[in-house]
Amino acid sequence: MTSARGSNPQRRQSILLVDDEQNIIDILQEHLAKNYDVASALDGASALKSIRAKRPDLVFLDFAMPGISGVDVLKAVKEIDSTIPVVMITASPDNAIAAEAIKHGAFSYFPKPFDLRYLDHLAAAALSR
């Protein structure tokens, strides 16, 4: 499927935040909303519904969520539209988790606790590719 992202230079780029912790979404949304249109979902099923309805330009996706796991959501996003970059969010210091995410098509990963400067860098890098 072809994506229309990037076809309108006047349009603000859109980011979907997916995390089962509302406080994490609030922090990221407040920071990113200065430069992007930001939507959020608290679980994988809601995220996939949102992605099917309105393709975001970028997804920040929590690795560990109840119900559909972050890796399963990542796989589904890549089936829906393989051009959407996905950055996985993880609280685990285990590099194997990051490697698994990259293996399944993630653009990168973002560790908790957050460094918001790194968040800005990741968003810009993912959206410029």
pLDDT in tens, 7-66: 555 689 999 999 999 999 999 999 999 999 999 999 999 999 999 999 999 999 999 898
Which is more confident, 66 or 95?
Answer: 66
How many other C-beta atoms are found inside a 10 Å radius of the C-beta of residue 118?
A: 12
Structure confidence at residue 2 as a pLDDT band (50, 70, 90): very low
pTM as predicted: 0.89
**Whole-number mean pLDDT of the chain?**
90
Q: How far apart are the first and last CA of the chain?
A: 18
**For residue 51, what pLDDT is reported?**
97
**For residue 92, what pLDDT is reported?**
80
Q: How many CA atoms lie within 13 A of 37 on its CB side?
A: 9
**Cα 128–chain centre separation:** 15
Helix (H, G, I), strand (E, B), or coil: what is residue 39? Answer: strand
Where do we find the tokens 């920040």?
Answer: 60
**For residue 88, what pLDDT is reported?**
94
Q: How far is CA 45 from CA 8, 40, 98, in A?
A: 29, 12, 22
Two structure tokens written together for 124: 């810009």
Domains annotated on the chain, with CATH: 14-127 (3.40.50.2300)
Mean pLDDT of 72-88: 96
Q: What is the DSSP letter of 128?
A: T
**For residue 11, what pLDDT is reported?**
80
**For residue 100, what pLDDT is reported?**
86
Which is more confident, 10 or 126?
Answer: 126
**For residue 4, what pLDDT is reported?**
45
**Bridge partners (DSSP) listed for residue 120:** none
Nearest to 40 by CA among 126, 127, 26: 26
